[in-house]
Chains A and B, each alone.
Chain A
Amino acid sequence: SQTIHQWPATLVQPVGSPLSLECTVEGTSNPNLYWYRQAAGRGLQLLFYSVGIGQISSEVPQNLSASRPQDRQFILSSKKLLLSDSGFYLCAWLAFTGELFFGEGSRLTVL
């Protein structure tokens, strides 16, 4: 069966510091992968999606970036975090049936 994991689960970072969140999927090949963010009191905002290695589509301009160095690995990064980057970040993969399956989430607090 397919599983998705992301880490770290919790992160507290100072403003201006770098960020790296990792996500891996097991049990499937060439999945469509996604990064979403849930800000406090808001819905799920699509940040990036990837249909294959090295292929990244960005939904919103921001100081975040994403990379897909391997088929089942998706990384969310920032060179310099802003206070507004705080939130709950979710990685997901798209099943062929059309449902997204999410990881456990990563809580980022920027101070």
Chain B
Amino acid sequence: DQQVKQNSPSLSVQEGRISILNCDYTNSMFDYFLWYKKYPAEGPTFLISISSIKDKNEDGRFTVFLNKSAKHLSLHIVPSQPGDSAVYFCAASARQVNNNDMRFGAGTRLTVKP
């Protein structure tokens, strides 16, 4: 079962504009959410995370928003740069219940055009 869903397989934006990547989850026990960035033939790299006690976390150009009632989170990249072009994975875990299990979405391929 897909507990973490990224319904947009791809997204294309112009350099300098905002990129918004979306993620939905079904398991109400998830309390920690992460975004990873992946280049081809490389392992994913951790980007930013948010705990369920927060609704926003910001790190430079990257901001993650969490809407617990809607079971939805999003990653905002402002301004977008060509080097941001990659596949972005949303992930979630239920740390209070089982610290060993992290579930990933299918990924969204972001293309930032110069």
What residues of chain A have their CB less than 8 Å away from a CB belonging to chain B?
32, 34, 36, 42-46, 49, 51, 57, 88, 90, 92, 94, 98-105, 107
Given A43-B107, A44-B104, A98-B99 contact (CB < 8 Å): yes
| B99:A44 contact, CB within 8 angstroms | no
Query: Could you tell me if B106 and A57 are in contact, using CB atoms closer than 8 angstroms?
Result: no
Complex formed: what's the CA distance from A60 to B16 in Å? 42
Q: What residues of chain B lie closer than 8 Å to A46, measured between beta carbons? A: 101-104
Task: Let me know if B106 and A43 touch, CB within 8 A.
Answer: yes
Given known pairs A94-B99, A94-B100, A99-B49, the reply for A104 and B42 (CB within 8 Å) is yes
**Contact: B100 with A98, CB < 8 Å?**
no
Residues in A whose Cβ lies below 8 Å from that of B36: 102
Query: Is A100 touching B102 in the complex (CB atoms < 8 A)?
Result: yes
Q: Is the interface of B mostly helix, strand, loop or mixed?
A: strand
Whether B46 and A100, one on each chain, are in contact in the complex, defined by CB atoms closer than 8 angstroms, is yes
Known: A43-B89, A98-B49, A102-B45. A49 touches B105 (CB 8 A): no
Taking A100-B46, A100-B91 as known contacts, 14 extra A-B pairs with beta carbons closer than 8 A to each other, sorted by chain A number, are: A36-B104, A44-B44, A44-B91, A90-B44, A94-B100, A98-B34, A98-B95, A98-B99, A99-B34, A99-B49, A100-B102, A102-B43, A103-B43, A105-B42
Alpha-carbon distance between A103 and B42 when the two chains are bound, in angstroms: 8
Report 10 cross-chain contacts, Cβ distance below 8 Å, ordered by A residue: A43-B104, A44-B104, A88-B41, A94-B100, A94-B102, A98-B99, A100-B46, A102-B43, A102-B45, A107-B41
Interface residues of B in 27-58 (CB under 8 A from A): 32, 34, 36, 41-46, 49
Nearest residue, chain B, Cβ from A98: B32
B93 contacts A by Cβ under 8 Å: yes
Looking at the assembled complex, report how far the CB atom of B70 sits from the nearest CB atom of chain A, in whole angstroms.
21
